[in-house]
Structure 1
Amino acid sequence: MGNIRITKQFTFETGHALYGYDGKCRNVHGHSYKLSVTVIGSPITDVNHVKLGMVIDFGDLKKIVKEEIVDRFDHATIFNKNTPHVELANELEARGHNVILADYQPTSENMVIDFAKKIKSRLPKNIQLHSLKLQETESSYAEWFAADN
């Protein structure tokens, strides 16, 4: 039996600011992100296995992505920890806000790279992360493909 790709989609709301950027995105703002996670593997062929015919149970994939990405990033504000936004981040945290200080500029491109690392580390050995698509707006998105990395 050959490999099959399956995809699960997720949504979450996240704020960010791009320090040093020369456009509007230097200001704190937010997006309704859509994340598509595609994995690849062979469907289970053991007729005695409870998940016969599945590459991975969509519920298992959901649990991984929810714990690694959605629960952490939904309704959070992400800043690069090496920028003056750290002062704002500390103030927001002191007021009870969910703040993420990342090792990177929080662009869609860098976020999708970070998400790929987090998801790959949790997948079963027989399942590979094929691709991620992080949609920031209706017309703008970043994609990560295992074949490119």
Structure 2
Amino acid sequence: MKKVRVTKIFNFETSHALFGYDGKCKNIHGHSYKLFVTVLGEPVQEQTDSKNGMLIDFGELKKIVKELIVDPFDHAIILNQNSPHAALGDKLKQENHDVIMLDYQPTCENMLIHFAGILKKALPDEVELVKLKLFETENSYGEWLASDNIK
């Protein structure tokens, strides 16, 4: 009964387009994303350890998420490389725009799955990713929970 969860919140701006979608989101548009990253584990209980009492130093968690998600996605255009948007992405890259071509439709839901895969590999072994919450707008978000993805 010594496990705790800690959460760090990140903000980034990204644009995307949803190929084949039948609404306004088929057009390139942007969002002010807010990503909540929640991890689980037992705090260090070693008096001589500089991280005594911490599950993970918030600075370490920030460094991981910033390097692998926030920095690459912030102010980038994300497009589905398996759609005609690939040609648009190539043209934008030639004009020195920051474009990320993904092998999936860049919805909030698919981004959560992608981010979970990245973070699970990057976190220290003693720290478990248990939840991601990604706000796409002020009042619309998706969640990824480890407990929903047990094989």
When normalised by structure 2's length, the TM-score is 0.97
Match of 2:97 in 1: 97
1:1-149 aligned at under 5 Å gives the runs 2-149=2-149
Moved over 2 A (4+): none
Letter in 1 for 2:12: F
The percentage of aligned residue pairs carrying the same residue is: 60
After superposition, the C-alpha distances for 1:115-144 in whole angstroms (9 at most, x for unaligned) are 000011001111000100000001110100
CA RMSD of aligned residues (A): 0.6
Superposition deviation, residue 56 in structure 1: 0.1
Residues in 1 aligned to 2:146 and 2:43: alpha-carbon distance in whole angstroms: 20
Residues in 2 aligned to 1:69 and 1:51: alpha-carbon distance in whole angstroms: 25
SS at match of 2:36: strand
After superposition, the C-alpha distances for 1:53-104 in whole angstroms (9 at most, x for unaligned) are 0000000000110011001100000001011111111111001111001010
Residues in 2 aligned to 1:67 and 1:31: alpha-carbon distance in whole angstroms: 20
Residues in 2 aligned to 1:88 and 1:48: alpha-carbon distance in whole angstroms: 55
Letter in 2 for 1:39: V
Residues in 1 aligned to 2:49 and 2:9: alpha-carbon distance in whole angstroms: 26
After superposition, the C-alpha distances for 1:1-33 in whole angstroms (9 at most, x for unaligned) are 510000000000000000000000000000000
Letter in 1 for 2:139: S
Residues in 2 aligned to 1:82 and 1:104: alpha-carbon distance in whole angstroms: 7
Query: How many residue pairs are counted as aligned between the two chains?
Result: 149
Letter in 1 for 2:135: Q
Letter in 2 for 1:98: D
SS at match of 1:121: helix
